[in-house]
Homo-oligomer: A and B are copies of this chain.
Amino acid sequence: MIKTSYNQLAGQNLERISAISDGIFAVAMTLLVLDLHAPAVSLVHSEGQLQQQLLMVAPRLLPYLMSFLTLGIFWNGQQVQLHHFEASDRHLTWIHFGFLLFVSLMPFSTQLLAQFICFRTALLIYWFNILMLGVWLLFSWKYATKAKLLHKSADAEVSKAVLNRIYVAQLLYAASATLCVVSTYLSIGLIVLIQLDYVFAPRFRSRTKPTK
């Protein structure tokens, strides 16, 4: 009895879910870069040596840029969903905490990949992190639909677009990850291409007019 009524109270505030999400995304996106360190002073005695040291750090930049893109993409994905929710309940709130757990794990997966960029194990853990972000967002939309928490703006077409977006992207990510049996660099390259395609979506630029 008690729990029931408490459950009804909990987590109905969509605004605060947005706020805690923005906070966790902001910290995770900034912490990514924390792992980049300036070269040690003792190793550098000339402009040439500094440039050399920085060039050696440069490949480590790639995983960070990729993770910044990844987090930006999933921030957008969550943002679209929250935009179409009319209300939240405690289950939906917890689904978003599940999603945010994997957001907060992203700096770890990224550090692992940056340090072991040739290792399939590191790449698969990174991919698993992306997969989980997709799974929780999928779960979020499915649950919100079933629990009738969607705004009426979220009609059948919107719903199809949201779900297909997740399925297609995750299939492409999984295919890219599979190619790590050939080379982890190939996987990473493909993941970045998928992400850039998502970011720029050039084919559609001319056809779509931004809805205000």
Contact = CB atoms under 8 A, between A and B. Distances in A.
A38 B210 contact: no
Interface residues of A, number: 95
A131 B208 CA distance: 31
A100 B29 contact: yes
A3 B158 CA distance: 11
Contacts of A199: 94
By DSSP majority rule, is chain A's interface helix, strand, loop, or mixed? Answer: helix
A22 B16 contact: yes
A13 B80 CA distance: 9
A87 B212 contact: yes
A129 to B, nearest CB: 11
A177 interface: no
